Amino acid sequence: MSGHHQNGTHALTYLVTGAAGFIGYHLCRRLLEAGHEVTGFDGMTEYYDPRLKRGRLAQLQGFEGFTFVQGMLEEAETLKSLVADTRPDVVVHLAAQAGVRYSIEHPQSYISSNLVGTANLLEALRATPPRHLLFASTSSVYGGNEKVPFAEIDRADGPVSLYAATKKAGEAMTHSYAHLWSIPTTCFRFFTVYGPWGRPDMAPIKFASAIDEGRPIDIYGQGKMQRDFTYVDDLVDAVIRLADRPPIMGEKVSAQDSLSSVAPWRSVNIAGGRMVELMDFIETLEAALGKKAIRNFLPMQPGDVVRTQADSSLLMALVGAIPQTDISVGVPAFVDWYRKVYAPMGLAPF
């Protein structure tokens, strides 16, 4: 790819699936600001109000380096021609049917999007291999693991939701393609990501809109659940840094490295490794909104785990940085967006 950044490094061509999604939007924006060429692919599905996706997309369409293609991962030929036409240097596969709870009610959409869709993308990449494939996995793959913090070399064979099972399967599929066709692949495992332009099915928007409108909030696990909350800007920073570190066979960076012995493939946690109790998050949200929540305490839900915490030493070894934004900074930034952009849209509660 021709063209240069201001700082002299080479501009690259990126293909980002799920570009109109929460993380996809933030990633595309950062890449475009840095002078890269980005092709965004998204199905604009109705899982949540598409107005939010259109709002994100409108922001990206202001950049001249951005091209948007609407399509579904299930459309194998569309993906094949898209990859052949754009010949991306780096592919970031974020598109997926998301959500732990939704997977209990609508299993089929996870099978078609996360399994069939990922296989279709891999076939397209086999014909036109990128320098690096980055696949969005999830901390949910650690399932019911008792050992905390979760490390990439721990076993992840006990998923407790279909969503987690499809993401684990995606990791396994990308591994086989990395082995067979030498496609350098990094699977990054997100922990609880939040921030502006977030998804309305996730706790921050559900909580913020309920508190703002005086509706009670459901707090599962008596508020004792602990999460490794990760601010979206930190996550995107880590993904972009990882994009520059494709796995190379035989080049382990530490004893904790999950690098495969038979493929240029590794999994990496992206999180700060700092536990936040759900009640602390809610209280920070209340303070930023200037309103108290009406709290409805409930037991744990099926498919949920009590605590997620990342061992972030591999990420640190690879890119020299880990997510640092504290909830005292991230939550007010989220609330600012919620008040200025989300609330005025008048979207129905999820």
Q: In terms of Cα–Cα distance, which of 267, 272, 269, 278 is closest to 305?
A: 278
DSSP string, 178-219: HHHH---EEEEEE-SEE-TT--TTSHHHHHHHHHHHT-EEEE
Residue 311: HSE in the Cβ half-sphere, 13 Å Cα cutoff: 16
DSSP string, 41-103: EE---SSS-HHHHHHHHHHHTTSTTEEEEE--TT-HHHHHHHHHHH--SEEEE------HHHH
299 exposure class (CB count in 10 Å sphere: 0-12, 13-18, 19+): exposed
- What tokens were used for 44? 């604009």
What residue has token string 């030498």?
Answer: 182
Q: In terms of Cα–Cα distance, which of 275, 279, 284 is closest to 297?
A: 279
Catalytic residue (one of 110, 163, 177, 231): 163
163 is catalytic: yes
- What tokens were used for 197? 């332009």
Q: In terms of Cα–Cα distance, which of 235, 233, 250 is closest to 312?
A: 235
User: Which residues, other chains included, contact 16 with Cβ-Cβ below 8 Å and sequence gap of 6+?
Assistant: 24, 27, 28, 31, 38, 39, 40, 41, 91, 92, 94
Indicate which residues carry an active-site annotation. 163
